[in-house]
Structure 1
Amino acid sequence: MSDPSAPSCTAFEGPRRLASGALAEVALAVKAAADGGSLQPLLVFDDASGHVIDFDLRGTEADVIARLPALAAQLAPPPAQPRQTEEETAAGPRGKGRPKLGVIAREVTLLPRHWDWLAVQQGGASATLRRLVEQARRAGGVSQQRRMARETAYRFISAMAGNLAGFEEATRALFADDRPRMEAHMATWPQDIRNHTLRLAWGDHVPPTEA
C-alpha cells in the first residue's frame, strides 16, 4: 500500500504527460524514455510545489530506485517542532512531572460588553478566546492553501507554457481565481498541459475559492 504522505510527481515528455504518481514509478518511466532515445525534453514536477525535480538516471533501474529516498527527504516538508513557551525558554530544561500545555498568560484589553459576552460562554473567557482563535486559523488555512495552489500551478506553466499563446492572460486569470477565463486563454495549449494545470490549481485537493 502506498504512503499518502509520500511525494507525488508528474513527468512530461515534451508537451505529453508521460507518468504521474510515486517517485519510483515516475523515475522508471523517465529512465525508460531516456534510455529509449527520446528526442523530447523530459521534465519532472513535484506535484506539491510545482518545482522541477532532477532524477539521477545513471546505472540500472535498481540504482535509480536506491537513490530516491534521499530525493524524497529533500522534497518532504520539515517536521513540525513543538513550540516552546517564553517561560520554558527562560527557565531552561524541565524536570520530570506533568508537561505544560504551552499556555501563555498575557494581557488582553476588551470593552466591557466583550467581557460580558465572554463571561456567559461555555468554558469561560480563556477557552472561548482559544476557540475563536482556532476557528480563525482554520479559515486562514483555506486561503493559504488556495495561494499555494496558485503558486504551484504558476511554477508549472512558467516552465511548460511560458512561450505559448495566452500565457500572460492565463496567468492573470489564475491569480484572480477566475477558472473560466483561464481555461479560455489556455484553449490552444496541448491538452496534457491544460489538464495538469487545472489539476494543480483547482484539483480535488484544493479548497474551493472563498466567496
Structure 2
Amino acid sequence: MSDDDRFTAFVGERLLASGPRRDVLLALKTHHDAGGGRALVFSDATGRQVDFDLRGTPEEVVARAEARKKAGPGRPKLGVVCREVSLLPRHWEWLEQQPNGISAALRRLVDDARKREPDREQARRVRDAAGRFMWSMAGDLPGFEEASRALYAGDGKRLRTLVKAWPKDVRAHVLTLADEATRLESPQPPQRPANP
C-alpha cells in the first residue's frame, strides 16, 4: 500500500484513526453517525487536510472515496495536471529544442532527479508532511517555531524535547513522521552475503 492511501484523523487533540483509507473512512463514518465532534483528516503522504463525503452508508462512503481517487485530476488516463511554470527565456529556448516537446522534457527532468536520490526525496516529502501537520495541529502550541526548526534540521533529539508537553496523540504523530524521514535519510548498512 502506498503512502497516498494512508490517512490520520483527529478529533480535537485526540487521535481517532490512522491507517489505510478504508479503515479511516469507516472510523470517521462511525464517529460522524454517533454525533461526534468535528474531525480533521490528514493525508500521511502530504500532511494536508482532506475532506471526505460521509453521506450514505459506510459502503457508499468508501465507494465514493475510491471513485474519486481513481478519477484523479487533469486528463483522466494520464492524471495530468496543468499548472503555470515561470522560466527565463533561455530555459524556454532549451526546452523547445528537446525531443517530444516541452512537457515531456520537463517530465524527464523531474523523473531523472527523483531517481538520483529516491530516499532523500522521500525523506523530504515526509518531513514536509510532518511540517504541514504540525502547522495545522500545533501551530499555537508552546515551542512550535523551535520544534519546526528542529524538524527541518533533522534534530530528532531536540524535537522530542520541544514537543514533550504537547498533547500525546499530536506529539506521537509528529514524531512518527519525523522518525520516518530520519530513517529514509540514514544510509542503510551494506548487506553481507550469507555464508555458502
TM > 0.5 fold call: yes
Larger fraction in helix? 2
Does structure 2 conserve the Cα–Cα contact (< 8 Å) formed by 1:45 and 1:51? yes
Does structure 2 conserve the Cα–Cα contact (< 8 Å) formed by 1:14 and 1:42? yes
Q: TM-score, normalised by structure 1?
A: 0.64
Find the counterpart in structure 1 of residue 118 from structure 2: 141
Find the counterpart in structure 1 of residue 137 from structure 2: 160
Identity %: 41
Does structure 2 conserve the Cα–Cα contact (< 8 Å) formed by 1:44 and 1:52? yes
Change (3 A) 1:20 1:205: farther
Equivalent residue for 2:58, pick from 54, 61, 64: 61
The AA in structure 1 aligned to 2:15 is R
The AA in structure 2 aligned to 1:148 is R
Does structure 2 conserve the Cα–Cα contact (< 8 Å) formed by 1:7 and 1:23? yes
Find the counterpart in structure 2 of residue 27 from structure 1: 25
Q: Which runs of 5+ in 2 are unaligned?
A: 81-96, 102-111, 188-196
Cα offsets for 1:78-120 (capped at 9, x unmatched):
9699xxx945x38xxxxxxxxxxxxxxxxxxxxxxxxxxxxxx
Change (3 A) 1:142 1:45: same
Does structure 1 conserve the Cα–Cα contact (< 8 Å) formed by 2:124 and 2:181? no
Specify the SS of the correspondent of 2:22: helix
* Whole-angstrom distance in 2 between the partners of 1:209 and 1:152: 18
Q: TM-score, normalised by structure 2?
A: 0.69
* Whole-angstrom distance in 2 between the partners of 1:47 and 1:15: 17
Specify the SS of the correspondent of 1:10: strand
Q: What does residue range 42-61 of structure 1 map to in structure 2 within 5 Å?
A: 42-61=39-58
* Whole-angstrom distance in 2 between the partners of 1:206 and 1:52: 24
Could you say which structure has the larger radius of gyration?
Answer: 1
- Kindly report structure 1 stretches of 4+ aligned residues shifted beyond 6 Å: 78-81
Does structure 1 conserve the Cα–Cα contact (< 8 Å) formed by 2:130 and 2:174? yes
Aligned-residue Cα RMSD (Å) equals 2.9
Q: What does residue range 87-98 of structure 1 map to in structure 2 within 5 Å?
A: 87=99, 89=100
Q: Which runs of 5+ in 1 are unaligned?
A: 91-133
